[in-house]
A and B are shown apart, each in its own frame.
Chain A
Amino acid sequence: MSDIPLLEARALTKRFRGLHAIERVSFVLRRGEMLGLIGPNGAGKTTLVNVISGTLPADSGKLFFEGAPIDHLPPYERAHLGIGRTFQVMKPFPRLTVLENVAVGALFGYHGGEHDLKVAREQARALLDFTGLMHRADQQADQLGGPDRKRLELAKALALKPKLLLLDEVMAGLNPAEIDDVVGVVKKIRDAGTSILVIEHVMRAIRSLSDRIIVLHHGEMLAEGEPNAILGDERVIEAYLGKRRA
């Protein structure tokens, strides 16, 4: 049972009008693992997250969650199974309070969520505490500044009680101190037993967070392996910086 990977992608492909956003991407994510996903802009990282969360349908390929195919499931059913995600372009519910934002996740998340509003609100409070947003609980979400919006995005996804958390650049645009903050929160999430797929441009963060890293380039898998090996890989450096003139 436990050797069935939490998430398995087989030859996932998504095209936009002939442009290959992702092309035959295959990988596994094991239980309790923190898998890093890197690649230059336009490599298809966000598309991959969209396909896994169900926001975009894949053109071909297979996707398994805990051994069962999920390709045909709409996003909300994937959330009920335990897949939570954040959006790179953050999507708070702007005119709801921070607490209400998070409570929505608790009300409709894993297994369909809580049916008792009070219970959901308690859970949301605990998550605000966890992500350091408690002092903003009653503010409208559109009043939050950058770092707090990132925290809210995280707290909302966590409220679903996901088994798998997809983090799409939650650290972009933060300063180093704020990044350390968020890295700390993400580590706490992993230590609590949640498996995580993390997309990040901040190399320092991804190196310290990931058990393994996969690299996408032009929608294809370029490399896969242990962080230090990947970040030293000639092909990866080339993809990011261009060919070295020898």
Chain B
Amino acid sequence: MLRAAILALCVLALAGVPLLGDEVLIQYGIDALLFATLAQAWNILGGFTGYVSFGNSSFYGLGVYGTAIAMAQLHWPFGVGLAVGAALAVGCAVLFGIPILRLRGHYFAIATLGLSATLAAIIANIDIAGKNIGLILPLTRADAAFYEEALLLLIAATATVAWIAKSRFGAALLAIREDEDAALVMGINTTRYKIAALTLSAFFTAIAGGIHAYWITFVDPGGAFDLTLNVRMVIMAMFGGPGTVFGPLLGAFILSAVYDVLASSISTAAALLFGLVIVLAVIFMPRGLWDLAGGFRRSGARYLLQNIRAHRL
């Protein structure tokens, strides 16, 4: 009950941000909300099944281009554009997932690495996608609308993850993460569940891409299929707590803020310090911030030392 109340308050507070009328704050907000959605979407596969995907930036790119082509070239409405982008990403996830989700652990991660670059190269040669030059979307709306859409998307993604965490589906994903061979003999059709997780992940990622594309009104292959974006999804989800419902949001909000503050105050050194934060986080709280609270309740400051010992540092 208390939890639900806190949650409702957080949502209301977030929804009310545009009322403050601070344009810069709204823009930071849109970015943070979209990043949180991306981290949450990555969490569905990466956090629950343990399959580290670097293919999510391609789903993002397909969402971006699906929306951009639909709106800029075909003059379709925004909603249809989002649907086109999501359909492209989901189709790609199924096609790509069937062969490569048979790979385990690092091999899967490596196989996903090439996808973004490949798709970017293909897009750069398609006329309707504007080739190398990119596309310009209609400039029509106020930022507040984008903010509320991004918030709605984040709520939808988080509600989905909350459902997964309590469902039979989620039990299958966790079993796969914990021991895939054991999961197989326990009656779990692991391939089907992994593909379903990747598809869900692709869906939310693509919608986030579509919203971002319409918001900044310009897309090009390099920006849409950016692998560093994928790296940030991984870092935010891992930092906050992979396989949890709220961990990735926490990670995304905190790291977005840290990054923005660092970038505005010391610009060039920002990336360096950002890296330092990640290293410290991985050493002291390998299961993320969300686990830190529970760990402290169980064993106090010793929790940090336990993690160091577990790493054999």
Contacts and interface: CB of A to CB of B under 8 A. Distances in A.
Contacts of A53: 185
B228 interface: no
B306 interface: no
Contacts, number: 78
A161 B172 CA distance: 18
Interface residues of B, number: 19
Interface stretch (B64-72, B187-195, B233-241, B269-277): B187-195
Q: Which of B171, B172, B187 has the most CB of A within 10 A?
A: B187
A80 B187 contact: yes
A76 B174 contact: no
Contacts of B188: 76, 104, 108
A113 B189 CA distance: 12
B167 A105 contact: no
A160 interface: yes
B138 to A, nearest CB: 47
B181 interface: yes
A103 B171 contact: yes
Nearest to A113: B187
A37 B174 CA distance: 33
A94 interface: yes
Given A103-B171, A115-B168, A76 B184 contact: yes
A87 B179 CA distance: 12
Given A93-B175, A107-B171, A115-B168, A79 B186 contact: yes
A112 interface: yes
A5 B78 CA distance: 63
B181 A76 contact: no
A104 B190 CA distance: 13
A172 interface: no
A84 B172 CA distance: 17
Contact of B184 (A55, A103, A105): A55
B189 A104 contact: no
Given A100-B171, A107-B168, A74 B184 contact: yes
B243 to A, nearest CB: 9
A79 B187 contact: yes
A13 B204 CA distance: 47
Contact of B190 (A76, A78, A156): A76
B182 interface: yes
B178 interface: yes
- Among B182, B186, B189, B190, the most chain A Cβ lie within 10 Å of the Cβ of B186
Interface string A65-105: 00000000011101110001101000111111000100111
Interface in B161-175: 166-168, 171-172, 174-175
Interface in A19-67: 53-55
B187 A85 contact: no
Given A78-B185, A109-B187, 4 more contacts: A76-B190, A96-B178, A104-B183, A117-B168
29 contacts: A53-B185, A54-B184, A55-B181, A74-B184, A74-B189, A76-B184, A76-B188, A76-B190, A85-B185, A87-B181, A91-B179, A92-B178, A93-B178, A93-B179, A93-B182, A94-B178, A94-B179, A96-B174, A104-B172, A104-B175, A104-B183, A104-B186, A104-B188, A108-B172, A108-B186, A120-B168, A156-B182, A156-B186, A160-B187
Interface of B: 166-168, 171-172, 174-175, 178-179, 181-190
The 9 closest A-B pairs by CB, nearest first: A93-B178, A79-B187, A108-B187, A91-B182, A75-B184, A75-B185, A109-B187, A91-B179, A108-B188
